Amino acid sequence: MDGVERDLARQSVASLTKEQATRLIRLGSGLTDLEPRIERIGTFTFAAQLADRWRDGAVFLTGDAAHQITPRGRTGMNTAIQSAHDLGWKLAWVLRGWTGPQLLDTYETERRPVAAHNVARSADPHGGTRLAAQELPADLGGRIPHVWLPSHASARCPPSTCSDAD
């Protein structure tokens, strides 16, 4: 990049023309003949935060209402879908009478550590590009952290859905 592009990169995004934005996209991608289709130019505010609580009686938060993850973290939609799925199957089991309402108390206990990890990763300027050695223990090995249920919990649900520490 020469001095002109460097000054252009420091300019407010909202003040860029489509031609200037095209030049920056080409520089950033390394594709000098790229012809991007720019519909609009604007800014948005990143948010990396967790709600103080995810449940109040019969009201539950999930997705972006419970945890906001910046695009840099690359896990926002996954985290939202996983949290909604976790809450969904638990609600279904309770409503079908397959287990007691105390199962719903495990939703935030299990999902908050995962969301907190992903929120923190997304707030980190290098969060989307951390080395595998930094992320594998959380993503694959440690279950961020695994939440063990008391041994009597396995009596109320199939072994494939419960862990038992005892």
Does the pLDDT of residue 149 top 60, yes or no?
A: no
Domains of the chain, residue spans:
13-43, 49-161
Domain 49-161 has CATH 3.30.565.10: no
32-51 core/surface letters (b: 16 or more CB in 10 A; e: else) = eeeeeeeeeeeeeeeebebb
Burial 92-105 (b: 16+ CB within 10 A, else e): ebeeeeeeeeebbe
pLDDT tens-digit profile of 31-80?
A: 999 999 999 888 777 889 999 999 999 999 999 999 999 887 788 999 99
Give one DSSP letter per residue of 72-107, joined into a string: GGS-HHHHHHHHHHHHHHHHHHHHTTSS-GGGGGHH
Q: Is 97 left (phi over 0), alpha (psi -120 to 50) or beta?
A: left
Q: What percent of the chain has pLDDT over 90?
A: 46
Higher pLDDT, 164 or 149: 149
Confidence of residue 115 (pLDDT cuts 50, 70, 90): very high
**pLDDT at residue 42 in the model:** 82
